[in-house]
Structure formats: structure tokens, C-alpha cells
């Protein structure tokens, strides 16, 4: 199963969920992330938080066009984690993937001290981790499409 996590800037939330899904998924799926208007760098608070969680893979901020019609990778699920990406007109995704919106606040916009920013990133990480765990608790490999769609929609309510 291939999952694409979308956000606008692809620097924080989408990177975090990509990392969480790949780490906890242990090969059951492959997660990717991208943005509608990527800023080109991963937020340093995302990198630091992932390091603290033991996730040291190198991440990059990239455009969602990387995974659209010219991609060799077909997505099974596309998850947006911010309202802007959800509301934008997305490119065509080969294979007609399921779609879900797991919106969370953008910690990159938090103003304040380093400590306040770290707390904001941790809160977002914790929500995304709960949602990822709920998804991974499903036997998604054997689910009918409509059942899987209902389940991934319901996961968005977990906070």
C-alpha cells in the first residue's frame, strides 16, 4: 500500500506523518509526502523531533507533482493534513486513490520561544501518531474499498 500525505508547504505536518507511518508500519505500507507549494526545506523542529523519536531518515520538501501523472508510484490513499491542501484542486492521481483529510494545526506558524514551538510540534506529532496507530490497527490489506474509506474518514476524529 502506498500513501501520499499532502500539505501546503511540505515542511512539518506531512513530513511528520510520512515518518510516523513508515516507522510504525514496518513494511506494511510505504508513505510519501509532498506539498502543493513546497517551501523547499524541512522545518528544523520537525527534524529535531523526529531525531528524538529515533527517526533519522533524511526528508525533503517536494511538490505533489512528483507523484502525479508522471510518477511510477501509484497511490492507494492520499491524506491531506492541512485545510489549504484539502481545499485546493489536486492533480490527477493515477489509480484513483482513496482520499481522507486528517487536518491538524500547523506548528510551523507558532510564534514564541523555542520551548513553545517544540511543544506545538510535539502536540501535532502525538495526534498524527494516534491516527497512524489507528490506521495500522486495521487489517487494511484485506478491506473492501468502501469499508477502508469509512475507516480512514473516522480516523480523522482522533485527537
Give the whole-angstrom CA distance, residue 23 versus residue 8. 23
Computed over every residue of the chain, the mean pLDDT equals 92
For residue 86, the domain's CATH number is 3.40.50.2300
Query: Band of the pLDDT at 95, cuts 50, 70, 90?
Result: confident
Q: Does residue 85 have a pLDDT over 70?
A: no
Angle at the Cα of 131 (from 43 to 89), degrees rounded to 5? 65
Q: What Cα–Cα distance (Å) separates residue 156 from each residue in 34, 104, 132, 151?
A: 19, 9, 10, 9
- Over residues 61-74, the mean pLDDT reads 85
- pTM for the whole thing? 0.94
Residue 57: burial class (beta carbons within 10 Å; 0-12, 13-18, 19+): exposed
Instruction: Tell me: pLDDT of 86 over 60.
Output: no
Identify the CA nearest to 99 among candidates 68, 83, 77: 77
What is the structure's pLDDT at 154? 98
Q: Which of 49-53, 54-58, 149-153 is predicted with the least confidence, judged by mean pLDDT?
A: 54-58
pLDDT in tens, 113-157: 999 999 999 999 999 999 999 999 999 999 999 999 999 999 999
> How far is it, in rounded angstroms, from Cα 98 to Cα 101?
11
Q: What is the pLDDT of residue 126?
A: 98
Range of the domain at 83: 2-155
Q: What is the Rg, in whole angstroms, of the alpha carbon atoms belonging to the chain?
A: 15
Percent of the chain at pLDDT > 70 equals 93
pLDDT score at 82:
85
What is the number of structural domains in the chain?
A: 1
pLDDT at 89: 65
Amino acid at each position: 500500500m502506498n500513501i501520499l500525505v499532502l500539505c501546503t508547504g511540505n515542511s512539518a505536518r506531512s513530513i511528520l506523518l510520512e515518518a510516523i507511518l513508515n516507522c510504525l508500519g514496518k513494511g506494511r505500507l510505504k508513505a510519501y509526502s509532498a506539498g502543493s507549494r513546497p517551501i523547499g526545506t524541512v522545518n528544523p523542529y520537525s527534524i529535531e523531533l523526529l531525531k528524538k523519536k529515533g527517526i533519522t531518515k533524511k526528508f525533503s520538501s517536494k511538490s505533489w507533482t512528483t507523484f502525479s501523472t508522471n510518477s511510477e508510484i501509484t497511490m492507494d490513499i492520499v491524506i491531506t493534513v492541512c485545510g489549504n491542501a484539502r481545499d485546493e484542486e489536486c492533480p490527477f492521481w493515477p489509480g484513483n486513490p482513496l482520499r481522507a483529510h486528517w487536518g491538524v494545526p500547523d506548528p510551523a506558524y507558532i510564534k514564541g520561544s523555542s520551548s513553545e514551538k517544540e511543544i506545538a510540534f510535539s502536540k501535532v506529532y502525538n495526534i498524527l501518531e494516534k491516527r497512524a496507530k489507528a490506521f495500522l490497527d486495521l487489517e487494511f490489506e484485506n478491506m473492501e474499498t468502501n469499508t477502508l474509506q469509512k475507516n480512514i474518514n473516522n480516523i480523522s476524529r482522533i485527537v
